[in-house]
Amino acid sequence: MTIQAKMGHGHTGGVPTVLVINGPNLNLLGTREPEIYGHTTLEDINRELIALGTELAIRVESFQSNSEGALVDRIQQARGNIDLIIINPAAYTHTSIAIRDALSAIEVPVIEVHLSNVYRRESFRHHSTIADVVEARLMGFGAEGYLLALRAAARMIKARAEKREGK
């Protein structure tokens, strides 16, 4: 991990960076099962995250892929360059040991987000392979959950910086 990331400033010259990762089929938000996931598109969510990030003095990067390998690659690239990850692994939540292992390996705090309350859905969605390696989990708030997660991320980054400074 680089000194910058340890100091809570990612690779952006003093501005903390949060990486938002979205898994398979989330590129279809707004049109795929709107009764479950709502009408907000992933582009809308990313735009709102960037605006809130500006308000919170946090740089927001977004990444979406339907490929497990691409998600693992992006998680690994975050090591030393990102202050915190917000992730919605989507269907990979329930199956991907590779994503779990990548998140464990990079030593970056993680918040898990889901648009729907997975416990009000099919039983196979009740298990998360990453639940034990994340700092927090948010679910059931729809697109607002991403904004709540970014606000929590800002507080977590600030608390870590204050702890390092002895405050």
Q: Rounded distance, CA 6 to CA 88, Å?
A: 24
Q: What is the CATH number of the domain that holds 137?
A: 3.40.50.9100
Q: What confidence score (pLDDT) does residue 32 get?
A: 72
Whole-model pTM: value is 0.86
Residue 137: name the closest of 111, 116, 102 by CA.
Answer: 111
* Residue 17, in any domain of the structure: yes
Q: What confidence score (pLDDT) does residue 34 get?
A: 72
Q: State the average pLDDT over residues 95-107.
A: 95
* Residue 166, in any domain of the structure: no
Domain of residue 107 covers: 3-122+130-161
Per-residue confidence band for 37, with pLDDT thresholds at 50, 70 and 90: low
Q: For 132-152, what is each residue's pLDDT tens digit? A: 999 999 989 999 999 999 999
Instruction: Please state, in angstroms and as integers, the Cα–Cα distance from residue 4 to each residue in 14, 39, 145, following that order.
Output: 8, 38, 28
Per-residue confidence band for 4, with pLDDT thresholds at 50, 70 and 90: very low
* Residue 35, in any domain of the structure: yes
* Residue 156, in any domain of the structure: yes
Q: Which residue has the tokens 């606000």?
A: 151
* Residue 106, in any domain of the structure: yes
Total domains in the chain come to 1
The answer to whether 115 and 88 are in contact (CB under 8 A) is: yes
Q: Which residues contact 122 (CB under 8 A, 6 or more apart)?
A: none
Active site residues: 37, 114
Per-residue confidence band for 122, with pLDDT thresholds at 50, 70 and 90: low
